[in-house]
Structure 1
Amino acid sequence: MSYRYQDLERWLLQGIEQQRWQPGERLPSIRELCRQKQLSKATVMHALQRLEALGLIAVRPKSGYFVLPPPAPVEAAATPPAIRPPRPVTVSDVLLDIMQRSAAFDLLPMPDTDERPRALVTLNRCIGRALRRQKGSDHQYYDEPAGSLALREQLVVHALKRGWHAAPERLCITSGCQHALFLALMACCQPGDVVAVESPGFYGVLQLLQQLGLKGVEVPAAGQGMDMDALDAVLQRWPVKACIVSPAFATPGGALMPIEARKRLMALADRHDLALIEDDIYADTAFMEIPDPLKALDTENRVILCSSFSKSLSRDLRLGWVSGARWHDRILQLKLVTQLASSRYLQQGVADFMADGSYAGHLRSQRTRLRQQRDQLLQVLNAWPVECQISRPEGGLAVWLELPLQIDTLALYHRAREQGVIITPGPLFSMTGQYRHCLRMSFAHPWNERRLQALQQLGVLLAP
């Protein structure tokens, strides 16, 4: 099913691609498109604004929308980037500064009081009912190590919709995805082991490698995720014990790994006897169909799937899960050591929220909201006074900006912070200090007036 604005968007896009309208030429007016296509003004405006966000057209006040010239082609690199040997990891203090300001996915260090999705009201009611249903001395007992059976059963139902036949006894509830990744690495690695990671990749993984005394080797990742040719070369050269990968909308750029690459990854893992640790935390943010997990292809019991509700529902829940493959029993033991148990009433409340269809309904509305917020962000970024390449993910919470090479985003971080704006510099997504000219920019929050002003401030700071 497609919406009418999408049909108009496709028709206009086809006309631009077929050069029905040449660069610099004006598109039919809004009134003409309304009459010609029998559409409302709001529908036509929505389609035009989406094309504007993609940088294909631009509006001229009192004149209409005009086709922009295509961007200059980017020359391919003469040689692939060199892969550096495995090394211990040290994470920048800038990351701690960002987390202390609660601005990992926001330009502003202070939260807005008017942001409260309806689903969270329903979730809080479910949690409150679960708390009131506690009996006698329930509060005096710990939950079982694997976590609430009711919640694990709901996760099984959710996984089945994505082509993964999970089992409740092979799931363990954790304190978020970071905790799940921590347990996975502890279960399958020893200090000094080599772990392959995406580059650019999740800075939280780099923190874990540092804490556990593991060595990391960076494997290039771009628009379609981790480069399988590069991973193959790494595996032939160094004794890699595990590989951490995010096939679905990997941070920072939102890459989605195609099925062919996933199958090749599984084949490489089988050949080299790798533990594959799948960070699946962004899958439920998909704008369209939620992709199947890598775990669904696992026939050798070597994919440890880690996820949580923090990106799809609430950061504050601190509820995640892990399916530990052949290391699952070890992971259950490690959970006892690192967390002991999870809150019973919190788990039951979330299980009820999923069972009555509220979570599925929340995901449907979230997809529309996130896509609109992504398009708004792209529209503003395309108007910045500096040229940049921007990813256009179909899920996740962020885009990846490649700015001119002379721009140092670590230096920009301190200048922007003085004006009350927090950015996430590119080097945080690498253990080797790469990507100094890059930024991760989130669209997790609505673009209210304060955030739009912050974006404009950044544009001014970047102006040549």
Structure 2
Amino acid sequence: MADTGPSRAVNGAGRPDRTLGSRQLAALLPDPSGARPAYRHLAQAIGELILDGRIALHVRLPAERELAAALDISRPTVTAVYDLLRESGYAHSRQGAGTWTALPEGRTPRGVTRLLGARDPVIDLARAAPALPHRALADALARVSPQLAEHVDTPGYHPYGLPQLRAAIAGRFTRRGLATVPEQVLVTSGAQHALTLVLGLLCGPGDRVLVENPSYPNALEALRRARLRAVPVPVTDAGWDTGTAESSLRQSAPRLAYLIPDFHNPTGCLMPAEARARILRAAQRSGTWLVVDETLTDLALDVPAPPPFAAHAAPGGAGQVITTGSMSKTHWAGLRIGWLRAPARLVTELAAQRAATDMGGSVLDQLLALDLLERSEELLPARLAQLRTQRAALTAALTEHLPHWTWQLPPGGLSLWADLGAPVAAALADRARDHGVRIEGGACFATDPGVFEHRLRIPYTAPPDTLREAVHRMAAALADGLTPSSGTRRPHWIA
């Protein structure tokens, strides 16, 4: 039987669902011939993929016969796999209706656990986000309290965002070289919220979206949940292959492209100005909307902060560029304040979509964000100096304890993209937990299965002593001996 792409179905709970194709699932799984018993090995791998979010919940698994053919194993082996998944809570079935993915009682998806704080003595390197100095927060709260009192006599709903904050963000863009008015700004609950709103308005299931590979995991998950088809373009230690990006835009004509050109997450690369202009022209020719994530732009450690991506467009050529930003990386993620800049008409449509979900953000958080943004020239230099010190501590510790690892020193941003020299990232991340370090393997940042197993993203957002201790613990975990992660089947389907 032909293996079609994801299709709509209704599961036992009455939810509309997708069917995961047999070849698509096979591409995500390790070679079953490498372990015994094979059924237990495969069931464990599927459970891990569900926890990682790379297989969504409430998705119909392929028929046993089709998966057996795709994996080149016997049908009884696949039957045993599905039996074990049901027994362990990762799947449920109804006679004659199929088998769907599920989450076992008491288990938390790793996309959630990555955001949860780790308790001492665990060192958390899974999140690349800085803390806000206590004094800065206390001073800002004192300053905005009188302003908050002025708002309590109003309903407090601002679906576009607090007018003063919109004006401040517009002014920030203008000072950076991109003339902007408040009507072109929508305040959101973080940059991820902005991306989700854009995907919901501009894209439909099955649409192609150009993305960098590797890229920000939460953005990739948003694409998966919107049932969009990723068109990956590589980002290496040397940066972007602009010719490949132009070719992908021309041949695939994606509906949208999501880019992180400033201190790219996770590689740390900075896209050259010439490449920006070329990609802008190619996107304009293909009719592709560009969503440019500038959450890391201000974290320029060794170079001047770049101007807005859209400023590189020819006159009138920035009409299909949406720029997102956030307070999370420069100040504090706990504020949950982000924004997007787009044509005013599109901002109006996005605000209407936003009103259907949360109607507007917290007035207090927006007042705090406004206060902190207005004091960026006072606060940011200290932040950058701190990050340079922490980056130096991390690289020195890696050189001392793990000299065979390599990396390119990023000119800005919050993390290193380290090459371990062997495909042991997932195994090291698992072992590191036993040594009190939380970190994610490079596969979390991949658009395709089975890649970046030799990579780790290592943030330098913790104090120097903490970073040195984390490296010492990872070196101890590596010294215990690791088995390279089993090879996964490379995808032989087109996303």
Same fold per superposition (TM over 0.5): yes
Structure 2 partner of 1:294: 309
Cα distance in 2 for partners of 1:352, 1:427 equals 38
Cα distance in 1 for partners of 2:431, 2:149 equals 49
C-alpha deviation, 1:382, in angstroms: 1.3
Matched, 1:120 2:137: yes
C-alpha deviation, 1:305, in angstroms: 0.6
C-alpha deviation, 1:211, in angstroms: 1.4
Cα distance in 2 for partners of 1:241, 1:253 equals 25
Give deviations 1:145-186, integer Å, cap 9, x for gaps. 211111111112222221111110110100001001111222
- Which AA in structure 1 matches 2:54? V
SS in 1 for 2:331: coil
Matched, 1:171 2:189: no
Given that 1:91 and 1:431 are in contact with CA atoms closer than 8 Å, whether structure 2 keeps it comes out as no
Aligned pairs for 1:193-272 (under 5 A) are: 193-223=207-237, 225-272=239-286
Cα distance in 1 for partners of 2:118, 2:253 equals 38
Give deviations 1:338-383, integer Å, cap 9, x for gaps. 221112232123323434xx22211111111111111111111112
- Which AA in structure 2 matches 1:214? L
Structure 1 partner of 2:476: 460
Equivalent pairs counted in the alignment come to 369
Cα distance in 2 for partners of 1:108, 1:375 equals 16
CA RMSD of aligned residues (A): 2.7
Matched, 1:335 2:298: no
Given that 2:214 and 2:447 are in contact with CA atoms closer than 8 Å, whether structure 1 keeps it comes out as no
Matched, 1:161 2:175: yes
Moved over 4 A (4+): 87-90, 108-111
Structure 1 partner of 2:392: 375
Structure 1 partner of 2:322: 304
Given that 1:284 and 1:290 are in contact with CA atoms closer than 8 Å, whether structure 2 keeps it comes out as yes
C-alpha deviation, 1:393, in angstroms: 1.1
Cα distance in 1 for partners of 2:239, 2:144 equals 37
Which of 419, 424, 446 does residue 435 from structure 2 map onto? 419
Structure 2 partner of 1:439: 456
Give deviations 1:216-248, integer Å, cap 9, x for gaps. 121101245432111123234324111100111
Given that 1:195 and 1:242 are in contact with CA atoms closer than 8 Å, whether structure 2 keeps it comes out as yes
Identity score, percent: 28
Cα distance in 2 for partners of 1:165, 1:290 equals 17
Cα distance in 1 for partners of 2:132, 2:279 equals 40
Cα distance in 2 for partners of 1:409, 1:211 equals 26
Cα distance in 1 for partners of 2:156, 2:133 equals 31
Structure 1 partner of 2:289: 275
- Which AA in structure 2 matches 1:172? L
- Which AA in structure 2 matches 1:179? H
Cα distance in 1 for partners of 2:473, 2:280 equals 45
Using structure 2 for the length normalisation, give the TM-score: 0.69
- Which AA in structure 2 matches 1:185? L
- Which AA in structure 2 matches 1:442? P
Given that 2:213 and 2:232 are in contact with CA atoms closer than 8 Å, whether structure 1 keeps it comes out as yes
Give deviations 1:229-270, integer Å, cap 9, x for gaps. 111232343241111001111100211101000000111111
Question: Compared with structure 1, are the counterparts of its residues 106 and 245 closer, same or farther at alpha carbon in structure 2 (3 Å cutoff)?
Answer: farther
Cα distance in 2 for partners of 1:191, 1:110 equals 30
Question: Compared with structure 1, are the counterparts of its residues 226 and 385 closer, same or farther at alpha carbon in structure 2 (3 Å cutoff)?
Answer: closer
Give deviations 1:181-233, integer Å, cap 9, x for gaps. 11122222111101011111110111101111111121101245432111123
Matched, 1:318 2:336: yes
Structure 1 partner of 2:54: 91
Structure 2 unaligned residues grouped into runs of 5+: 1-23, 29-48, 56-108, 482-495
Which of 385, 389, 409 does residue 425 from structure 2 map onto? 409
- Which AA in structure 2 matches 1:198? E
Using structure 1 for the length normalisation, give the TM-score: 0.74
Aligned pairs for 1:15-94 (under 5 A) are: 91=54, 93-94=109-110
- Which AA in structure 2 matches 1:205? A
Structure 1 partner of 2:376: 359
C-alpha deviation, 1:108, in angstroms: 6.0
Given that 2:441 and 2:456 are in contact with CA atoms closer than 8 Å, whether structure 1 keeps it comes out as yes
